[in-house]
Amino acid sequence: MAEKKEVPDEWPPVSGEYAIGNPEDPVVVSSVGTYFKEDEVISHGASMVGPTKTENIGLEKIIANTISNPNIRFLILAGTEVPGHRTAGSMNALYKNGVDSDSKKIINAPGAIPFIENASMEAIERFREQVEVIDMIGTEDLSKIGAKIKELKERDPGAFPEEPIIIKLGVEAAEEGALAEIPLAMPAEPFMDVINKATEEIRYKSQIITRDQKLTSGISANAILGILTGIILAVLIALPFIGLI
């Protein structure tokens, strides 16, 4: 029987749109751009299953939740690829090529903004050593995915020999790809909290866009942030009064 390690109480340390199975099972399934019947995938023996929408924050979440559990040794990429983001292709590139230590860009990744900003090089390399990435992208047949999970469990090498690494992502509070839902009227404190979270998310994404150096205009990150922040503040402040018109 494969040797297992005790899983930290806070596992998984980063929240997201996924279901959790037995944390001692060695296989994680990313459905990438598809939503699977999570209970069925878990019943086949996956320790975690859920979509991965982006080639930056989405991959960071997988890294954080994998290296915090040494029992995870395989990552299956299945479902449909995400257009533009090319999440599965970017994960394959990260696994095969790694990340440039200076720019933090995934080497030869096909995604639009493939930067791993919130995970250290140590965490990234630990992830690449700990897991084997299985490319089943395009497969949505859960019986085939279940058969692959069974196959991988049979060749489980046991827990990774090093201790768990716990990292907290700076954008954990903002659900990946989610939009803030704002009622027509709200108390001042929660209202300002929504504004602060939205502003922080804009700041993070504008920094990534600027670092990618794909923008050909001369607009600085601060200018982009100022414009976007001004727009969102105007909309947020106006919303509570719409119901009064």
C-alpha distances in angstroms, 23 versus 48, 129, 159, 166, 205? 8, 19, 11, 15, 32
The domain spans of the chain are 19-154, 188-242
Of 135-139, 156-160, 213-217, which range is least confident? 213-217
Report the mean per-residue pLDDT for the chain.
Answer: 84
Residue 170 pLDDT > 60: yes
Residue 115's pLDDT is what?
A: 98
Residue 200 pLDDT > 70: no
Q: Please give the full DSSP string across 107-160, using - where no structure is assigned.
A: TT--SSS-B--SS-HHHHHHHHHH-EEEE-TT---HHHHHHHHHHHHHT---S-
Question: Across-strand partners of 105?
Answer: 115
Residue 169's pLDDT is what?
A: 81
What are the tens digits of pLDDT across the range 70-109? 999 999 999 999 999 999 999 999 999 999 999 999 999 9
The mean pLDDT of 212-228, rounded to a whole number, is 57
Output the furthest CA–CA distance in the chain (Å, rounded).
68
pTM for this model (two decimals): 0.72
Is it true that domain 19-154 has CATH number 3.40.50?
yes
Question: Across-strand partners of 89?
Answer: none
